[in-house]
Chains A and B, each alone.
Chain A
Amino acid sequence: AQTVTQSQPEMSVQEAETVTLSCTYDTSESDYYLFWYKQPPSRQMILVIRQEAYKQQNATENRFSVNFQKAAKSFSLKISDSQLGDAAMYFCAYPAGTYKYIFGTGTRLKVLA
C-alpha cells in the first residue's frame, strides 16, 4: 500500500535557526513527484516545494530545500533562517496514481522568537 509517514507531530525552532522536518513514503513506482505543503492558521494549503523523483538534484526554493533519498524513500524538508511566518502545519504529499494525493498526518512547526 502507498503510505506517507511524518513521524514528528510537532517541532520547535528558534528564529533564524535551521530545522528539518522528516517524511518517508512507500511506493513501488519509479517515477513520481513529491510535495511539501504548508498550512498556516488561515487553513489555506500552500505549496512549499516539490521534487521530481527522477532528478538527482535536491529541490531548493529560497530558504526551503529538500533532502531526497530515493532508495531510502525519504523526503525531508529543511527550513533555513527560520522566520516567525514559517509557523504552520507542514504536510508531505505523494500522488498515488494520476490524481489521488496521499498526505501525511502533518508536523506542526513552532518558531520561537
Chain B
Amino acid sequence: GAGVSQSPSNKVTEKGKDVELRCDPISGHTALYWYRQRLGQGLEFLIYFQGNSAPDKSGLPSDRFSAERTGESVSTLTIQRTQQEDSAVYLCASSFNLLSTDTQYFGPGTRLTVL
C-alpha cells in the first residue's frame, strides 16, 4: 500500500478482555515500531521489529503486552486482560532500515478505550 495502515481505527472493550491491534507497514520496509500515546502526552516506545531478528521488547509495559511480526509483513500487538490504564492511541510506524537516520512513517493509529 501507499502508507502504513492500522486496524481497527477505534476499539472499545471491557476491562479484562483481550484485544488485537494490526499494523500493515509500507512494502519493503524492514523495520516496524509500536508506540503508545496517552491522552495529551508524547509517544512512548513499546517494541520494534527488524527483519527476522528477535524484537526488542524492553518498552513493553507489562507481560500482558505482546507483539508478533512475520518476516517483513503485518504485525499484531496483543493486550491481554485489558485495564483502564491501557486506554490510549497505539501508533505503528515503519522505516526502510533500522537506523536512527531513517524517517519513520506512521499509521493513523488505533484508539483503544477500555471501559
- Interface residues of A, count at CB 8 A: 26
A44 nearest in chain B by CB position:
B108
A–B pairs, 16, beta carbons within 8 Å = A33-B100, A33-B101, A45-B43, A45-B93, A52-B101, A95-B101, A99-B33, A99-B99, A99-B100, A100-B48, A100-B59, A101-B45, A103-B35, A104-B42, A105-B41, A106-B41
Contact B106 A91 (CB under 8 A): no
Whole-angstrom distance from the CB of A98 to the nearest CB of chain B? 6
Indicate whether A44 sits within 8 Å of B107 (C-beta atoms), given known contacts A98-B100, A99-B33, A99-B50. Answer: yes
Chain A interface helix/strand/loop/mixed: strand
Bound form: Cα–Cα A113–B83 in Å? 42
Bound form: Cα–Cα A50–B45 in Å? 19
- Interface residues of B, count at CB 8 A: 26
Bound form: Cα–Cα A106–B42 in Å? 6
B98 located at the interface, meaning its Cβ lies under 8 Å from any Cβ of chain A in the complex: yes
Indicate whether A100 sits within 8 Å of B45 (C-beta atoms), given known contacts A33-B100, A44-B108, A46-B106. Answer: yes
Q: Which residues of A contact B99 (CB under 8 A)?
A: 98-99
Interface string of A23-51 (1 = CB under 8 A from B): 00000000011010100001111110010
Q: Which residues of B contact A102 (CB under 8 A)?
A: 45
Whole-angstrom distance from the CB of B92 to the nearest CB of chain A? 10
